[in-house]
């Protein structure tokens, strides 16, 4: 064989190639491939990654009635909670979240916010006022307890008798009120626009914390970056507002005839059967409530219901343009997409396309991963960059075009993670933000044949962060993480991890089977990280401990390298090394002297024996070029050593 561009290597290679190939590794890397956490199954969580035969979770059903005082910007009302204890132990008390208490000057969240502030800074003149607390078992003759302790953003409510295990029920009720903050840590708040104030209401009622088989009570305080972990239940809530307001909320409106004129009702019926956006409140009608409301003074009460949800949010304003369209779901089911926005956000380059975006997003995820479960999907323009709740988003009223598509699609994607698959956001932000960012990649590529597209597969654009000495691991809790790292460790790095699994490690079919199995197994339940790892391995048919350990629970990087290519008899040997801390299968693109190309894949197990590997390539054609990862999916931190010989690729 003739190696024109390797002539200087020929004599040396012939003399020493046998030594290259037969070199023995003195220390193996088996520890990189061993299990890294206790992932064995139990009666509650099976080793297969599914809920075990004795899996349980508790339930919280809510009836809430509140009134909005527009003059003083106050919400006041009452909540009645029916709590079902399905756990195997009796409960003498229940913990609740009081997240509005974050908006106090002495809250833990305020006192742990850096002096310079951050995204989660907020008003500090608010907080809940709580009174008339009553707690009792749901059996006849039970005594009523008012004993409770409020500690920062948590509330402990005691019962005179413990709630019985395995199905015991109790009720908790209280009155509450709070001043609505202007700046609600980019999750809720209020915005003044030309035609009124937009009230974006979230974290607006006392809600039960999760009691599970892993931690018992999950009672981490609400500091800001860490989001939510809540029980599932049914919600029936009433919102009383000034007569000229439009209210949109999680779930289905129960009393449209009581709050809307016949004109709007007719338009709503049309929208429910239309794939095109239908205006319910037109721009020129916003300041003319006599055209669209059933009364012209006082207040109106709007009633909403949603089932099997973990939270509810709503928005109210006299400034809303309101439009809607039908969402087509699998098996002939339907829902309705709605958008509510002020005239400042109107326009075909902006919020006039919001419902189109919402509809496309929900339909894509429903067909690709799991059907959307709720009767409506509402996008609300507010002074919030983007925040999700079951069936309702708050997105920036300033967003336009691709940025509006991106935030709308991202927030609706959260209906799958964590609204359907109910992970613990306060601890594991990557299980909702990362998974959601991953599915956003495919929805963006699909929307209007890639009208806005996605750049997530260009993983090497993140190399600056991967090379940063200040990077943190995905497993860092969001309230602990440096805010400059949060976008990568909660969103992009876990999303890239799933992309690598689908596009590089497992392949589309095996990954999709595993990912769908995870969603189906844990829909409306509470998975832990190990449950996800186990189900992907069991359904995907691959031991991935090496990947979970290095990518999700470490800060090492990918750096695969070609050291050289040398002749070996009539064959060639590609000398490879793993210079990073993340082992990976090695996809090689081969180029021959006759111009033909070939691809091969070396399994990740080549790195079990050490950090170098000699691949003997058998071919009767002259090999003139070799490249690692020719499709450039891996975020390999040193692309200079990915090709041989490097000069032919310049």
DSSP character string of 14-42: HHHHHHHHHPPPSS--HHHHS--S-----
The pLDDT value recorded for residue 647 is 61
Tokens found for residue 17: 């190639």
Element (H or E) spanning 411, and its range?
helix 401-413
Order of strands across the sheet that contains 392-396: 278-281, 321-328, 334-341, 376-382, 392-396, 386-389
Cα 465 from Cα 459, distance rounded (Å): 11
Residues 6+ apart with CB under 8 A from 434: 474, 490, 491, 492, 493, 494, 495, 497, 498
Per-residue CA distances from 392 to 19, 415, 421, 562 (Å): 65, 9, 16, 50
Cα 468 from Cα 441, distance rounded (Å): 25
The pLDDT value recorded for residue 10 is 38
Residue 290 buriedness (CB in 10 A; 0-12 / 13-18 / 19+): exposed
The pLDDT value recorded for residue 153 is 98
**Contact between residue 120 and residue 109 where contact means Cβ atoms under 8 Å apart:** yes
The pLDDT value recorded for residue 271 is 98
The pLDDT value recorded for residue 23 is 45
The number of CA neighbours under 13 Å toward the Cβ of 301 is 9
Cα 494 from Cα 502, distance rounded (Å): 13
The pLDDT value recorded for residue 145 is 98
Cα 464 from Cα 114, distance rounded (Å): 25
Cα 434 from Cα 489, distance rounded (Å): 8
Order of strands across the sheet that contains 623-628: 597-602, 586-592, 623-628, 643-644
The distance in angstroms from the start CA to the end CA of the chain is 25
Would you give the DSSP letter of residue 145? B
The pLDDT value recorded for residue 462 is 96
Question: pLDDT means per 10 residues in the chain (650 residues)?
Answer: 39 42 62 89 97 98 98 98 98 98 94 84 92 96 97 98 98 98 96 98 98 97 95 98 98 98 98 98 97 96 98 98 98 98 98 98 98 98 98 98 98 98 97 98 98 96 95 94 94 98 98 98 98 98 97 96 95 97 97 96 96 96 96 96 75
Cα 479 from Cα 593, distance rounded (Å): 56
């Amino acid at each position: 064989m003739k190696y024109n561009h390797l002539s200087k290597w020929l004599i040396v290679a012939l003399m020493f190639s046998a030594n290259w190939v037969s070199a023995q590794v003195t220390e193996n890397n088996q520890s990189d491939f061993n299990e890294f956490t206790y992932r064995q199954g139990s009666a509650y969580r099976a080793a297969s990654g599914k809920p075990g035969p004795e899996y349980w979770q508790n339930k919280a059903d809510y009836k809430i009635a509140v009134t909005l005082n527009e003059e003083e910007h106050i919400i006041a009302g009452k909540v009645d909670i029916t709590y079902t204890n399905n756990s195997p132990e009796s409960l003498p008390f229940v913990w609740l979240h009081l997240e509005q208490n974050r908006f106090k000057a002495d809250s833990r969240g305020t006192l742990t916010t850096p002096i310079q502030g951050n995204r989660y800074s907020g008003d500090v003149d608010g907080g809940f006022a709580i009174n008339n607390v009553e707690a009792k078992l749901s059996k006849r003759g039970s005594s009523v307890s008012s004993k409770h302790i409020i500690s920062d953003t948590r509330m402990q409510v005691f019962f005179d008798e413990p709630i019985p295990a395995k199905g015991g029920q109790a009720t908790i009720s209280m009155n509450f009120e709070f001043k609505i903050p202007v700046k609600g840590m980019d999750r809720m708040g209020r915005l003044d626009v030309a035609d009124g104030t937009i009230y974006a209401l979230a974290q607006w009622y006392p809600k039960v914390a999760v009691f599970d088989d892993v931690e018992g009570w999950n009672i981490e305080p609400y500091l800001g970056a860490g989001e939510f972990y809540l029980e599932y239940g049914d919600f029936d809530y009433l919102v009383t507002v000034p007569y000229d307001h439009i209210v949109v909320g999680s779930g289905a409106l129960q009393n449209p005839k009581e709050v809307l004129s016949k004109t709007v009702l007719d338009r709503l019926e049309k929208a429910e059967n239309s794939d095109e956006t239908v205006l319910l409140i037109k721009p020129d009608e916003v300041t003319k409530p006599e055209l669209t409301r059933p009364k012209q003074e006082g207040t109106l009460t709007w009633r909403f219901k949603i089932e099997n949800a973990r939270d509810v949010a709503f928005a109210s304003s006299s400034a809303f343009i309101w439009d809607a369209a039908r969402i087509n779901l699998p098996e002939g089911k339907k829902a309705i997409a709605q958008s509510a926005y002020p005239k400042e956000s109107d326009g075909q380059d902006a919020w006039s396309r919001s419902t189109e975006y919402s509809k496309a997003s929900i339909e894509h995820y429903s067909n690709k991963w799991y059907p959307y479960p709720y009767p409506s999907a509402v996008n609300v323009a507010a002074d919030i960059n983007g925040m999700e709740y079951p069936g309702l988003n708050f997105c920036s009223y300033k967003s336009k075009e691709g940025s509006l598509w991106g935030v709308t699609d991202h927030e609706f994607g959260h209906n799958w993670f964590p609204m359907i698959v109910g992970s613990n956001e306060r601890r594991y932000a990557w299980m909702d933000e990362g998974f959601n960012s991953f599915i956003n990649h495919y929805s963006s590529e699909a929307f209007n044949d890639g009208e806005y597209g996605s750049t997530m597969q260009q993983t090497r654009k993140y190399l600056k962060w991967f090379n940063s000495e200040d990077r943190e691991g995905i497993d860092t809790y969001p309230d602990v993480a440096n805010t400059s790292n949060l976008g990568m460790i909660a969103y992009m790095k876990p999303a890239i991890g799933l992309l690598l699994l689908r596009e590089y490690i497992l392949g589309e079919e095996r990954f999709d089977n595993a990912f769908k199995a995870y969603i189906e197994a844990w829909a409306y339940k509470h998975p832990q990280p190990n449950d996800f790892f186990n189900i992907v391995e069991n359904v995907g048919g691959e031991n991935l401990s090496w990947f979970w350990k290095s990518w999700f629970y470490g800060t090492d990087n990918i750096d695969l390298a070609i050291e050289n290519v040398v002749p070996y008899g009539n064959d060639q040997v590609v000398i490879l090394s793993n210079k990073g801390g993340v082992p990976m299968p090695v996809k090689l693109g081969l180029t021959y002297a006759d111009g033909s190309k070939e691809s091969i894949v070396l399994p990740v197990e080549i790195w079990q024996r050490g950090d170098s590997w000699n691949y003997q390539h058998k071919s009767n054609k002259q090999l003139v070029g070799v490249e690692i990862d020719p499709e450039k999916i891996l975020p390999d931190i040193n692309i200079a050593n990915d090709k041989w010989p490097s000069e032919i690729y310049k």
